[in-house]
Structure 1
Amino acid sequence: MVMAIAIVFFLGIAAISYQLEVLSYLILTGFVILLFVNNKNRFLISLVLSFLIGFAVFMIANGFVETMSVPQELKIILNRLFLGFILIGIVFNHLLFKKKLVWYNRKPDWTNPIRLPFHQVNVFWFWLIGIAVNGIVYSFFIARQDPESIQSLLVFCLVFSLINAVFEEVIWRGIMLSALEECVSTGYAVAVTSIGFGLLHLAIGFPILLSLLIALAGVIYAVITLKTKSIYPSIVFHFVINIGMVYSGLII
Protein backbone atom coordinates (compact mmCIF):
# COMPACT_ATOMS: atom_id res chain seq x y z
CA MET A 1 0.00 0.00 0.00
CA VAL A 2 2.75 2.50 0.91
CA MET A 3 4.38 1.93 -2.49
CA ALA A 4 1.06 2.63 -4.25
CA ILE A 5 0.65 5.82 -2.20
CA ALA A 6 4.09 6.98 -3.31
CA ILE A 7 3.41 6.27 -6.99
CA VAL A 8 0.07 8.11 -6.93
CA PHE A 9 1.76 10.98 -5.05
CA PHE A 10 4.33 11.30 -7.84
CA LEU A 11 1.55 11.13 -10.43
CA GLY A 12 -0.28 13.88 -8.54
CA ILE A 13 2.77 16.16 -8.64
CA ALA A 14 3.10 15.60 -12.39
CA ALA A 15 -0.63 16.09 -13.04
CA ILE A 16 -0.76 19.36 -11.10
CA SER A 17 2.47 20.56 -12.72
CA TYR A 18 1.09 19.96 -16.20
CA GLN A 19 -2.30 21.40 -15.14
CA LEU A 20 -4.18 18.20 -15.98
CA GLU A 21 -7.27 19.23 -14.05
CA VAL A 22 -9.37 16.07 -14.38
CA LEU A 23 -6.51 13.77 -13.37
CA SER A 24 -5.54 16.10 -10.53
CA TYR A 25 -9.09 16.11 -9.15
CA LEU A 26 -9.29 12.32 -9.41
CA ILE A 27 -6.03 11.87 -7.50
CA LEU A 28 -7.00 14.33 -4.77
CA THR A 29 -10.44 12.75 -4.46
CA GLY A 30 -8.90 9.30 -4.33
CA PHE A 31 -6.63 10.32 -1.46
CA VAL A 32 -9.59 11.87 0.41
CA ILE A 33 -11.55 8.61 0.12
CA LEU A 34 -8.50 6.56 1.10
CA LEU A 35 -8.05 8.80 4.13
CA PHE A 36 -11.33 7.52 5.59
CA VAL A 37 -10.97 3.84 4.71
CA ASN A 38 -7.30 3.19 5.52
CA ASN A 39 -6.69 3.79 9.21
CA LYS A 40 -3.26 2.17 9.20
CA ASN A 41 -1.70 4.72 6.82
CA ARG A 42 -3.91 7.68 7.67
CA PHE A 43 -1.09 10.06 8.60
CA LEU A 44 0.93 9.16 5.48
CA ILE A 45 -2.10 9.64 3.24
CA SER A 46 -2.99 12.92 4.91
CA LEU A 47 0.61 14.12 4.59
CA VAL A 48 0.81 13.60 0.83
CA LEU A 49 -2.73 14.94 0.39
CA SER A 50 -1.93 18.14 2.29
CA PHE A 51 1.22 18.51 0.18
CA LEU A 52 -0.71 18.16 -3.08
CA ILE A 53 -3.38 20.63 -1.97
CA GLY A 54 -0.70 23.14 -1.04
CA PHE A 55 0.98 22.50 -4.38
CA ALA A 56 -2.31 23.09 -6.23
CA VAL A 57 -2.68 26.45 -4.45
CA PHE A 58 0.95 27.18 -5.38
CA MET A 59 0.13 26.63 -9.06
CA ILE A 60 -3.01 28.78 -8.90
CA ALA A 61 -1.05 31.64 -7.28
CA ASN A 62 1.65 31.41 -9.92
CA GLY A 63 -0.93 31.41 -12.68
CA PHE A 64 -2.24 34.70 -11.31
CA VAL A 65 1.28 36.20 -11.12
CA GLU A 66 1.95 35.24 -14.75
CA THR A 67 -0.86 37.59 -15.82
CA MET A 68 0.76 40.53 -14.03
CA SER A 69 2.91 43.09 -15.82
CA VAL A 70 5.95 42.80 -13.58
CA PRO A 71 9.61 41.96 -14.30
CA GLN A 72 10.41 38.29 -14.87
CA GLU A 73 12.83 38.33 -11.95
CA LEU A 74 10.02 39.34 -9.58
CA LYS A 75 7.75 36.60 -10.98
CA ILE A 76 10.44 34.01 -10.25
CA ILE A 77 10.99 35.29 -6.70
CA LEU A 78 7.23 35.21 -6.04
CA ASN A 79 7.12 31.69 -7.48
CA ARG A 80 9.65 30.55 -4.90
CA LEU A 81 7.89 32.39 -2.07
CA PHE A 82 4.65 30.61 -3.00
CA LEU A 83 6.32 27.36 -1.93
CA GLY A 84 5.08 28.60 1.44
CA PHE A 85 1.64 27.28 0.50
CA ILE A 86 3.04 23.74 0.47
CA LEU A 87 4.79 24.39 3.76
CA ILE A 88 1.55 25.67 5.31
CA GLY A 89 -0.27 22.55 4.13
CA ILE A 90 2.12 20.04 5.67
CA VAL A 91 2.51 22.07 8.88
CA PHE A 92 -1.27 22.20 9.25
CA ASN A 93 -1.37 18.45 8.75
CA HIS A 94 1.05 17.98 11.64
CA LEU A 95 -1.10 20.19 13.85
CA LEU A 96 -4.20 18.22 12.83
CA PHE A 97 -2.59 14.95 13.90
CA LYS A 98 -0.94 16.58 16.94
CA LYS A 99 2.47 15.55 15.66
CA LYS A 100 5.65 17.24 16.80
CA LEU A 101 7.10 19.36 13.99
CA VAL A 102 10.64 18.12 13.35
CA TRP A 103 12.88 19.52 10.62
CA TYR A 104 16.48 18.84 11.67
CA ASN A 105 16.90 22.32 13.08
CA ARG A 106 20.14 21.73 14.95
CA LYS A 107 23.89 22.20 14.73
CA PRO A 108 25.47 19.76 12.23
CA ASP A 109 27.18 16.65 13.56
CA TRP A 110 30.11 15.97 11.23
CA THR A 111 31.31 12.79 12.97
CA ASN A 112 29.15 10.24 11.13
CA PRO A 113 30.89 8.71 8.07
CA ILE A 114 29.25 7.91 4.75
CA ARG A 115 29.86 4.26 3.87
CA LEU A 116 30.27 3.64 0.15
CA PRO A 117 30.54 0.09 -1.34
CA PHE A 118 34.34 -0.04 -1.11
CA HIS A 119 35.17 3.07 0.83
CA GLN A 120 34.23 5.19 3.82
CA VAL A 121 34.33 8.98 3.70
CA ASN A 122 33.85 11.65 6.33
CA VAL A 123 30.55 13.44 5.77
CA PHE A 124 32.21 16.86 6.01
CA TRP A 125 34.63 16.07 3.19
CA PHE A 126 31.82 14.50 1.15
CA TRP A 127 29.84 17.72 1.56
CA LEU A 128 32.79 20.02 0.84
CA ILE A 129 34.00 18.06 -2.19
CA GLY A 130 30.46 18.01 -3.57
CA ILE A 131 30.20 21.78 -3.28
CA ALA A 132 33.67 22.25 -4.79
CA VAL A 133 32.97 19.98 -7.77
CA ASN A 134 29.69 21.71 -8.55
CA GLY A 135 31.32 25.09 -8.06
CA ILE A 136 34.01 24.21 -10.61
CA VAL A 137 31.45 22.93 -13.13
CA TYR A 138 29.28 26.01 -12.88
CA SER A 139 32.29 28.34 -12.90
CA PHE A 140 32.69 27.58 -16.62
CA PHE A 141 29.20 28.97 -17.24
CA ILE A 142 29.89 32.00 -15.07
CA ALA A 143 33.20 32.63 -16.87
CA ARG A 144 31.32 32.90 -20.17
CA GLN A 145 29.23 35.77 -18.81
CA ASP A 146 30.46 39.33 -19.25
CA PRO A 147 31.08 41.31 -16.02
CA GLU A 148 28.02 43.50 -16.61
CA SER A 149 25.70 40.47 -16.83
CA ILE A 150 27.18 38.94 -13.69
CA GLN A 151 26.71 42.18 -11.78
CA SER A 152 23.18 42.77 -13.07
CA LEU A 153 22.09 39.28 -11.96
CA LEU A 154 23.90 39.29 -8.62
CA VAL A 155 21.11 40.55 -6.35
CA PHE A 156 18.45 38.42 -8.03
CA CYS A 157 20.79 35.40 -7.95
CA LEU A 158 21.47 35.67 -4.21
CA VAL A 159 17.82 36.34 -3.26
CA PHE A 160 16.47 33.56 -5.46
CA SER A 161 19.13 31.06 -4.38
CA LEU A 162 18.57 31.69 -0.68
CA ILE A 163 14.75 31.62 -0.79
CA ASN A 164 14.68 28.52 -2.98
CA ALA A 165 17.26 26.60 -0.96
CA VAL A 166 15.60 27.35 2.39
CA PHE A 167 12.04 26.61 1.30
CA GLU A 168 12.81 23.45 -0.67
CA GLU A 169 15.11 21.99 1.98
CA VAL A 170 12.74 22.74 4.88
CA ILE A 171 9.89 21.15 2.92
CA TRP A 172 11.68 18.07 1.58
CA ARG A 173 14.68 17.29 3.78
CA GLY A 174 13.14 18.92 6.81
CA ILE A 175 9.48 18.23 7.50
CA MET A 176 8.66 15.64 4.80
CA LEU A 177 11.73 13.46 5.41
CA SER A 178 11.36 13.47 9.20
CA ALA A 179 7.59 12.87 8.98
CA LEU A 180 7.96 9.95 6.57
CA GLU A 181 10.66 8.38 8.73
CA GLU A 182 8.08 8.07 11.51
CA CYS A 183 5.78 5.79 9.54
CA VAL A 184 7.95 4.12 6.88
CA SER A 185 11.56 3.03 6.40
CA THR A 186 14.38 5.54 5.97
CA GLY A 187 15.03 4.25 2.45
CA TYR A 188 11.40 4.81 1.49
CA ALA A 189 11.48 8.30 3.02
CA VAL A 190 14.63 9.22 1.08
CA ALA A 191 13.23 7.84 -2.19
CA VAL A 192 9.87 9.62 -1.88
CA THR A 193 11.34 12.98 -0.88
CA SER A 194 14.05 12.82 -3.55
CA ILE A 195 11.81 11.78 -6.45
CA GLY A 196 9.10 14.21 -5.33
CA PHE A 197 11.69 16.97 -5.09
CA GLY A 198 12.83 16.28 -8.64
CA LEU A 199 9.31 16.08 -10.07
CA LEU A 200 8.35 19.38 -8.46
CA HIS A 201 10.66 21.07 -10.97
CA LEU A 202 8.21 20.11 -13.72
CA ALA A 203 6.13 23.04 -12.44
CA ILE A 204 8.80 25.54 -13.50
CA GLY A 205 9.19 24.07 -16.96
CA PHE A 206 12.05 21.63 -16.49
CA PRO A 207 11.88 18.54 -18.75
CA ILE A 208 11.21 15.17 -17.12
CA LEU A 209 14.76 13.84 -17.61
CA LEU A 210 16.33 16.89 -15.97
CA SER A 211 13.79 16.67 -13.14
CA LEU A 212 14.76 13.04 -12.51
CA LEU A 213 18.43 14.05 -12.55
CA ILE A 214 17.61 16.64 -9.91
CA ALA A 215 16.07 13.80 -7.90
CA LEU A 216 19.58 12.32 -7.61
CA ALA A 217 20.70 15.60 -6.06
CA GLY A 218 17.81 15.15 -3.64
CA VAL A 219 19.30 11.82 -2.54
CA ILE A 220 22.63 13.53 -1.81
CA TYR A 221 20.89 16.29 0.17
CA ALA A 222 18.96 13.65 2.12
CA VAL A 223 22.07 11.62 2.95
CA ILE A 224 23.89 14.72 4.15
CA THR A 225 20.90 15.74 6.27
CA LEU A 226 20.54 12.30 7.84
CA LYS A 227 24.27 11.92 8.51
CA THR A 228 24.71 15.38 10.05
CA LYS A 229 21.24 15.33 11.66
CA SER A 230 20.96 18.92 10.45
CA ILE A 231 19.30 20.64 7.51
CA TYR A 232 21.81 23.49 7.30
CA PRO A 233 24.56 21.70 5.31
CA SER A 234 22.04 20.73 2.62
CA ILE A 235 20.73 24.32 2.52
CA VAL A 236 24.27 25.61 1.89
CA PHE A 237 24.88 22.92 -0.77
CA HIS A 238 21.54 23.73 -2.42
CA PHE A 239 22.30 27.47 -2.28
CA VAL A 240 25.56 26.97 -4.21
CA ILE A 241 23.82 24.80 -6.83
CA ASN A 242 21.13 27.46 -7.29
CA ILE A 243 23.73 30.15 -7.95
CA GLY A 244 25.21 27.97 -10.67
CA MET A 245 21.79 27.31 -12.17
CA VAL A 246 21.02 31.02 -12.40
CA TYR A 247 24.26 31.86 -14.15
CA SER A 248 24.02 28.83 -16.45
CA GLY A 249 20.68 30.14 -17.77
CA LEU A 250 18.47 27.39 -16.36
CA ILE A 251 16.41 29.78 -14.23
CA ILE A 252 16.12 33.01 -16.22
Structure 2
Amino acid sequence: MKEALLLHSTVLRNIASLFLFGILIIILQTNHYLLMSVWGICAWLFFFNKSMRFFILTTTAFGIGFFLYGYVNSHWITHLNPEGLLIILNRLSLIFLILPLTAISLIYKLPFMRYWQSPQWGELVRVPFILSGFHHTKVSVFLSIAMMINLIAFMPFIVNNGWAYIQEIWWFMLIFSIINSVLEEIIWRGMLLSRFSEHFGNRWAIMITSIGFGLQHYSLGFSWGGCLVFTLGGLFFGAITVKSKSIIPAVIWHMSINALMVLSGMIVK
Protein backbone atom coordinates (compact mmCIF):
# COMPACT_ATOMS: atom_id res chain seq x y z
CA MET A 1 0.00 0.00 0.00
CA LYS A 2 2.79 2.40 0.92
CA GLU A 3 4.64 1.58 -2.31
CA ALA A 4 1.52 2.28 -4.37
CA LEU A 5 0.99 5.63 -2.63
CA LEU A 6 4.65 6.53 -3.13
CA LEU A 7 4.45 5.66 -6.85
CA HIS A 8 1.25 7.70 -7.20
CA SER A 9 2.89 10.67 -5.45
CA THR A 10 5.95 10.43 -7.69
CA VAL A 11 3.86 10.35 -10.87
CA LEU A 12 1.84 13.37 -9.72
CA ARG A 13 5.07 15.23 -8.91
CA ASN A 14 6.50 14.44 -12.35
CA ILE A 15 3.32 15.55 -14.15
CA ALA A 16 3.23 18.78 -12.15
CA SER A 17 6.87 19.42 -13.04
CA LEU A 18 6.20 18.84 -16.74
CA PHE A 19 3.31 21.33 -16.69
CA LEU A 20 5.28 23.91 -14.69
CA PHE A 21 8.18 23.75 -17.14
CA GLY A 22 6.02 23.83 -20.26
CA ILE A 23 3.78 26.65 -19.02
CA LEU A 24 6.81 28.74 -18.06
CA ILE A 25 8.15 28.54 -21.63
CA ILE A 26 4.75 29.51 -23.06
CA ILE A 27 4.44 32.48 -20.68
CA LEU A 28 7.95 33.72 -21.46
CA GLN A 29 7.19 33.74 -25.18
CA THR A 30 3.74 35.36 -24.93
CA ASN A 31 4.66 38.03 -22.33
CA HIS A 32 1.70 37.36 -19.99
CA TYR A 33 3.03 39.06 -16.88
CA LEU A 34 -0.06 38.25 -14.79
CA LEU A 35 0.35 34.57 -15.60
CA MET A 36 4.03 34.88 -14.77
CA SER A 37 3.07 36.10 -11.31
CA VAL A 38 0.72 33.14 -10.90
CA TRP A 39 3.50 30.81 -12.04
CA GLY A 40 5.88 32.37 -9.53
CA ILE A 41 3.41 31.78 -6.70
CA CYS A 42 2.96 28.14 -7.73
CA ALA A 43 6.72 27.65 -7.98
CA TRP A 44 7.19 29.23 -4.54
CA LEU A 45 4.63 26.84 -3.04
CA PHE A 46 6.28 23.82 -4.69
CA PHE A 47 9.65 25.03 -3.43
CA PHE A 48 8.62 24.04 0.12
CA ASN A 49 8.38 20.45 -1.09
CA LYS A 50 11.92 19.17 -0.65
CA SER A 51 11.63 16.73 -3.57
CA MET A 52 10.72 19.64 -5.90
CA ARG A 53 13.25 22.20 -4.67
CA PHE A 54 16.11 21.46 -7.05
CA PHE A 55 13.73 21.26 -10.01
CA ILE A 56 12.27 24.68 -9.15
CA LEU A 57 15.76 26.19 -8.86
CA THR A 58 16.86 24.68 -12.18
CA THR A 59 13.67 25.78 -13.93
CA THR A 60 13.95 29.30 -12.50
CA ALA A 61 17.56 29.51 -13.71
CA PHE A 62 16.42 28.40 -17.15
CA GLY A 63 13.60 30.98 -17.05
CA ILE A 64 16.07 33.77 -16.24
CA GLY A 65 18.28 32.66 -19.13
CA PHE A 66 15.31 32.47 -21.51
CA PHE A 67 14.19 35.95 -20.47
CA LEU A 68 17.67 37.35 -21.19
CA TYR A 69 17.72 35.51 -24.52
CA GLY A 70 14.34 37.00 -25.44
CA TYR A 71 15.36 40.50 -24.33
CA VAL A 72 18.53 40.43 -26.43
CA ASN A 73 16.61 39.33 -29.50
CA SER A 74 13.77 41.83 -29.08
CA HIS A 75 15.86 44.87 -28.11
CA TRP A 76 19.46 44.50 -29.29
CA ILE A 77 19.55 42.72 -32.63
CA THR A 78 16.02 42.89 -34.02
CA HIS A 79 16.80 45.55 -36.64
CA LEU A 80 19.99 44.04 -38.00
CA ASN A 81 20.38 43.12 -41.67
CA PRO A 82 20.80 40.96 -43.66
CA GLU A 83 18.38 38.31 -42.41
CA GLY A 84 21.10 35.66 -42.31
CA LEU A 85 23.18 37.70 -39.85
CA LEU A 86 20.13 38.27 -37.65
CA ILE A 87 19.44 34.53 -37.52
CA ILE A 88 23.06 33.68 -36.67
CA LEU A 89 23.15 36.23 -33.83
CA ASN A 90 19.81 34.92 -32.58
CA ARG A 91 21.30 31.45 -32.33
CA LEU A 92 24.50 32.71 -30.69
CA SER A 93 22.39 34.43 -28.02
CA LEU A 94 21.41 30.96 -26.76
CA ILE A 95 24.54 31.37 -24.64
CA PHE A 96 22.37 33.43 -22.28
CA LEU A 97 20.43 30.24 -21.45
CA ILE A 98 23.62 28.35 -20.74
CA LEU A 99 25.02 30.85 -18.21
CA PRO A 100 22.40 30.50 -15.41
CA LEU A 101 22.35 26.70 -15.82
CA THR A 102 26.12 26.69 -15.49
CA ALA A 103 25.77 28.68 -12.27
CA ILE A 104 23.43 26.00 -10.86
CA SER A 105 26.00 23.31 -11.70
CA LEU A 106 28.76 25.28 -9.99
CA ILE A 107 26.70 26.09 -6.89
CA TYR A 108 25.72 22.44 -6.36
CA LYS A 109 29.10 21.13 -7.56
CA LEU A 110 27.49 19.03 -10.26
CA PRO A 111 29.06 18.03 -13.58
CA PHE A 112 28.32 20.42 -16.44
CA MET A 113 26.49 17.56 -18.17
CA ARG A 114 26.35 13.79 -17.93
CA TYR A 115 26.59 13.15 -21.64
CA TRP A 116 29.86 14.84 -22.56
CA GLN A 117 31.71 11.71 -23.68
CA SER A 118 32.34 9.48 -26.68
CA PRO A 119 29.11 7.82 -27.90
CA GLN A 120 28.48 4.13 -27.40
CA TRP A 121 27.77 3.55 -31.09
CA GLY A 122 27.29 -0.18 -30.60
CA GLU A 123 24.60 0.21 -27.94
CA LEU A 124 21.33 -1.45 -28.99
CA VAL A 125 18.24 0.71 -29.48
CA ARG A 126 14.72 -0.23 -30.47
CA VAL A 127 13.07 0.61 -33.77
CA PRO A 128 11.20 2.85 -34.39
CA PHE A 129 11.15 4.83 -31.11
CA ILE A 130 14.65 4.08 -29.69
CA LEU A 131 13.34 3.28 -26.20
CA SER A 132 10.50 1.10 -27.50
CA GLY A 133 9.80 -0.81 -30.69
CA PHE A 134 9.65 -4.21 -32.34
CA HIS A 135 13.27 -4.54 -33.52
CA HIS A 136 16.78 -3.91 -32.15
CA THR A 137 19.65 -2.22 -33.96
CA LYS A 138 22.82 -0.32 -33.09
CA VAL A 139 22.86 3.41 -32.40
CA SER A 140 25.10 3.95 -35.44
CA VAL A 141 22.74 2.05 -37.76
CA PHE A 142 19.63 3.77 -36.40
CA LEU A 143 21.20 7.22 -36.81
CA SER A 144 22.30 6.48 -40.39
CA ILE A 145 18.83 5.27 -41.40
CA ALA A 146 17.10 8.20 -39.66
CA MET A 147 19.30 10.73 -41.43
CA MET A 148 18.69 9.03 -44.77
CA ILE A 149 14.92 9.22 -44.19
CA ASN A 150 15.25 12.92 -43.38
CA LEU A 151 17.22 13.49 -46.59
CA ILE A 152 14.59 11.72 -48.70
CA ALA A 153 11.81 13.76 -47.07
CA PHE A 154 13.52 17.10 -47.76
CA MET A 155 14.93 16.26 -51.20
CA PRO A 156 11.91 17.39 -53.31
CA PHE A 157 12.08 20.86 -51.73
CA ILE A 158 15.85 21.08 -52.17
CA VAL A 159 15.62 20.05 -55.83
CA ASN A 160 12.84 22.59 -56.37
CA ASN A 161 15.10 25.39 -55.07
CA GLY A 162 17.79 24.48 -57.57
CA TRP A 163 21.60 24.41 -57.59
CA ALA A 164 21.89 28.21 -57.74
CA TYR A 165 20.15 28.52 -54.38
CA ILE A 166 22.48 25.95 -52.82
CA GLN A 167 25.53 27.85 -54.10
CA GLU A 168 24.14 31.06 -52.63
CA ILE A 169 23.19 29.64 -49.22
CA TRP A 170 25.83 27.00 -48.45
CA TRP A 171 27.93 29.25 -46.17
CA PHE A 172 24.88 30.19 -44.09
CA MET A 173 23.85 26.53 -43.98
CA LEU A 174 27.20 25.51 -42.43
CA ILE A 175 27.34 28.31 -39.85
CA PHE A 176 23.70 28.03 -38.82
CA SER A 177 23.56 24.25 -38.58
CA ILE A 178 26.74 24.06 -36.49
CA ILE A 179 25.93 26.90 -34.07
CA ASN A 180 22.26 26.05 -33.65
CA SER A 181 22.65 22.30 -33.20
CA VAL A 182 25.62 22.50 -30.82
CA LEU A 183 24.14 25.20 -28.56
CA GLU A 184 20.62 23.74 -28.51
CA GLU A 185 21.90 20.25 -27.75
CA ILE A 186 24.14 21.55 -24.95
CA ILE A 187 21.10 23.22 -23.40
CA TRP A 188 18.41 20.57 -23.90
CA ARG A 189 20.14 17.18 -24.15
CA GLY A 190 23.25 18.26 -22.29
CA MET A 191 22.50 20.44 -19.28
CA LEU A 192 18.73 20.15 -18.76
CA LEU A 193 18.50 16.44 -19.56
CA SER A 194 21.38 15.82 -17.15
CA ARG A 195 19.77 17.79 -14.32
CA PHE A 196 16.28 16.38 -14.84
CA SER A 197 17.53 12.79 -15.24
CA GLU A 198 19.11 13.06 -11.81
CA HIS A 199 15.78 14.21 -10.43
CA PHE A 200 13.12 12.33 -12.41
CA GLY A 201 14.89 9.47 -14.17
CA ASN A 202 15.62 9.24 -17.88
CA ARG A 203 12.14 8.76 -19.36
CA TRP A 204 10.49 11.66 -17.55
CA ALA A 205 13.54 13.85 -18.16
CA ILE A 206 13.26 13.13 -21.90
CA MET A 207 9.55 14.03 -21.85
CA ILE A 208 10.04 17.29 -19.95
CA THR A 209 12.98 18.50 -22.03
CA SER A 210 11.24 17.51 -25.28
CA ILE A 211 8.13 19.52 -24.37
CA GLY A 212 10.33 22.51 -23.59
CA PHE A 213 12.43 22.05 -26.73
CA GLY A 214 9.33 21.95 -28.91
CA LEU A 215 7.52 24.87 -27.29
CA GLN A 216 10.52 27.22 -27.45
CA HIS A 217 10.33 27.17 -31.26
CA TYR A 218 7.29 29.44 -31.03
CA SER A 219 9.66 32.36 -30.45
CA LEU A 220 11.36 31.45 -33.74
CA GLY A 221 8.18 32.04 -35.72
CA PHE A 222 6.71 28.53 -35.80
CA SER A 223 3.06 27.83 -34.96
CA TRP A 224 2.07 25.89 -31.83
CA GLY A 225 1.22 23.00 -34.15
CA GLY A 226 4.72 23.18 -35.59
CA CYS A 227 6.08 23.15 -32.04
CA LEU A 228 4.49 19.73 -31.54
CA VAL A 229 6.57 18.41 -34.44
CA PHE A 230 9.73 19.75 -32.80
CA THR A 231 8.61 18.12 -29.54
CA LEU A 232 8.56 14.78 -31.35
CA GLY A 233 12.06 15.48 -32.63
CA GLY A 234 13.13 16.28 -29.08
CA LEU A 235 11.89 12.87 -27.92
CA PHE A 236 14.13 11.15 -30.47
CA PHE A 237 17.12 13.39 -29.69
CA GLY A 238 16.71 12.77 -25.97
CA ALA A 239 16.29 9.03 -26.35
CA ILE A 240 19.35 8.60 -28.55
CA THR A 241 21.37 10.72 -26.10
CA VAL A 242 20.40 8.52 -23.17
CA LYS A 243 21.03 5.26 -25.04
CA SER A 244 24.39 6.34 -26.49
CA LYS A 245 25.33 8.17 -23.25
CA SER A 246 26.49 11.13 -25.35
CA ILE A 247 25.02 14.23 -26.98
CA ILE A 248 27.17 13.69 -30.09
CA PRO A 249 24.64 11.54 -32.02
CA ALA A 250 21.91 14.10 -31.29
CA VAL A 251 24.21 16.94 -32.38
CA ILE A 252 25.00 15.13 -35.66
CA TRP A 253 21.32 14.33 -36.30
CA HIS A 254 20.20 17.85 -35.34
CA MET A 255 22.91 19.39 -37.54
CA SER A 256 21.85 17.36 -40.56
CA ILE A 257 18.19 18.35 -40.12
CA ASN A 258 19.13 22.02 -39.74
CA ALA A 259 21.20 21.84 -42.93
CA LEU A 260 18.29 20.26 -44.81
CA MET A 261 15.89 22.89 -43.46
CA VAL A 262 18.15 25.65 -44.79
CA LEU A 263 18.61 23.99 -48.18
CA SER A 264 14.84 23.47 -48.49
CA GLY A 265 14.18 27.16 -47.81
CA MET A 266 12.46 26.71 -44.44
CA ILE A 267 14.90 28.90 -42.48
CA VAL A 268 15.78 31.73 -44.83
CA LYS A 269 14.56 32.31 -48.36
Q: Which TM class, normalised by the smaller chain length?
A: over 0.9
Aligned position for 1:87: 98
Pair 1:157-2:157 in alignment: no
Alignment of 1:71-86 (within 5 A): 71-86=82-97
Task: State whether residues 13 and 199 of structure 1, in contact with CA within 8 Å, keep that contact through their aligned partners in structure 2.
Answer: yes
Pair 1:16-2:28 in alignment: yes
The two structures, once aligned, show a CA RMSD in angstroms of 1.6
Helix, strand or coil at the partner of 1:41: helix
Pair 1:242-2:258 in alignment: yes
Helix, strand or coil at the partner of 1:144: helix
Amino acid at match of 2:111: K
Aligned position for 2:157: 141
Structure 1 residues 111-152: Cα deviation after superposition (integer angstroms, max 9, x where no partner)? 221134322122211111001110121122111113222111
Amino acid at match of 2:82: P
Unaligned segments of structure 1, at least 5 residues: none
In structure 2, distance between residues paired with 1:219 and 1:30:
27
Deviates more, 1:207-216 or 1:108-117: 108-117
Aligned position for 1:187: 203
The 4+ residue runs of structure 1 with deviation greater than 6 A are none
TM-score (norm 1): 0.93
Unaligned segments of structure 2, at least 5 residues: 1-12, 127-131
In structure 2, distance between residues paired with 1:55 and 1:29:
19
Q: 1:53 to 1:30 in 2, by over 3 A?
A: farther
Amino acid at match of 1:221: F
TM-score (norm 2): 0.88
Task: State whether residues 173 and 221 of structure 1, in contact with CA within 8 Å, keep that contact through their aligned partners in structure 2.
Answer: yes
Amino acid at match of 1:200: Q
C-alpha displacement at 1:29, in angstroms? 5.1
Q: How many residues align?
A: 251
Aligned position for 2:62: 51
In structure 2, distance between residues paired with 1:131 and 1:117:
18
Aligned position for 1:205: 221
Pair 1:175-2:178 in alignment: no
Task: State whether residues 201 and 211 of structure 1, in contact with CA within 8 Å, keep that contact through their aligned partners in structure 2.
Answer: yes
Task: State whether residues 194 and 218 of structure 1, in contact with CA within 8 Å, keep that contact through their aligned partners in structure 2.
Answer: yes
Q: 1:67 to 1:100 in 2, by over 3 A?
A: closer
